[in-house]
Amino acid sequence: MKWRDCSVGLGVIALLAGAGGGCGELFHVGTTTTTGSGGTGTAAAGPGGQQSSSSGTGGAPACTAGACQVAGEYCNPASGACEACTELDRFQFGAPQPLGLTAAGYNALYPRVDGDTQDLYLDLQSVSSHLDQLAVAHATSGTPAWPTASLLPQLGGSHNDRGPLYLADPSLLSGLIDPTLAKSGMPVLLFDSDRMGSRLIFAVPLQGSTPSSLLLPTDATQASQVAMAMAAPTPRLFWVGDGAGSTSVRLLTGTASASVPPVSVTITLDSGCPAPLAGTPWVTPAGDLLLFTSPRYEASPGCAVDDATVTHLYQVPLDATGQPTGPATPVFADDASIDATPSLTPDQCTLLFARVDVSSSTAQIYAATRD
């Protein structure tokens, strides 16, 4: 089963919604994952991170790419100074490169880094059964930073598990999670799964084996693709699903309070067209920036999809309620690649995402550093 056999035309929208199984899953490609080359950082800046330096202000010579020495900074070519990667006024990246992660027999998706250990959690999709399972690639100080991924043994079985998201403090979800899991100091992975029939969001302790579903609104029948603003003044969840008074599948946001219903996140693309669905969302810990996946829609004629076989990475700033403060713009303005499942490393200096090579029908993890 190849990418274009499964995911062309308007079917891309359904795939981003995460509904169904088999060919209905996002990035169900059917060949082995190719192994890339090169790495994206060193342990000093965190695996996959941008090396950094002191500021180039005050008459000092302008910085050069890769010359910054302070962790969490990058060289801004517009100002000639080393700036914090958490400053998002300028959000641009260099050319993406394969991460170099070996996962023979699998396609690699949903790369997300644990900010405590710098380990990389991801979704490995079997090329033979198309089964999605969660995996971890342990961080090293070498190149590549995450050389090999292995499946998480506590989640083995025939379930389709996707989109792992590390949460150091599950007590932030005390209104939505099993009380036995809502304990500070007992990290969990959030993910979505079909293990209860319809696709729902679960949490599992890193040192445990029993997942527990999140208590989302009672009228929700499906929920997937979870993201979380963990360090926001009021922590906030984002996910794709229905409920909250509607049967339509869309991007939703809500706090950990079960008594406060979630609301739709309304996104307009830079073309002026609405984003029908912001798929595979990821949000910065502070909740000030949302990354997501969407085809492009052109204003003329009638906000038609530009090419439904190609999905792109978008970014949009958010306010404290999880709503955009402006239009969403492409992360890579001129690319024609099939990209999805974006995230940033904990220092926000490196973008990680999955890219499909249409010629070989392979999906692997790519990285791009701030530029």
pLDDT digits (tens, 9 = 90+) for 213-248: 998 766 778 999 999 999 999 999 999 998 777 788
Decide: 74 and 370 in contact? Cβ < 8 Å.
yes
| Residues 58, 59, 61, 62, CA torsion sign | positive
Mean pLDDT over 59-77 rounds to 83
- 239 in a structural domain: yes
Going by pLDDT thresholds of 50, 70 and 90, the confidence category of residue 174 is: confident
pLDDT, averaged across the chain: 82
Is 329 part of a structural domain of the chain? yes
Q: How many CB atoms lie within 10 A of CB 301?
A: 6
Tell whether the model's pLDDT for residue 116 goes beyond 90. yes
Of 271, 288, 262, 285, which is closest to residue 329 (Cα–Cα)? 271
Higher pLDDT, 64 or 251: 251
Q: Is residue 171 part of a domain?
A: no
Q: Cα–Cα–Cα angle for 222, 318, 365, nearest 5°?
A: 65
pLDDT at 130 over 70: yes
Number of domains within the chain: 1
The answer to whether residue 179 is domain-embedded is no
pLDDT of residue 268: 96
Range 114-143 average pLDDT: 93
For residue 192, tell me if it sits in a domain: no
Structure confidence by residue, pLDDT tens digits, 29-48: 222 233 333 333 333 333 43
Among 179, 176, 13, CA closest to 190: 176
Contact 96, 111 (CB under 8 A): no
Q: What is the pLDDT of residues 321-371, one digit of tens each?
A: 999 999 999 999 877 889 999 999 999 999 999 999 776 677 899 999 999
Q: How far apart are CA 294 and CA 276, in angstroms?
A: 8
Q: Which domain holds residue 326?
A: 3-40+94-158+218-369
Fill in the amino acid letter for 33: T
Is residue 250 situated within a structural domain? yes
**pLDDT value of position 197:** 85
Q: Is residue 343 part of a domain?
A: yes
User: Is 84 within the bounds of a domain?
Assistant: no
User: Which two three-digit tokens encode residue 345?
Assistant: 């490393």
pLDDT at 113: 97
Q: What is the mean pLDDT of residues 66-83?
A: 91
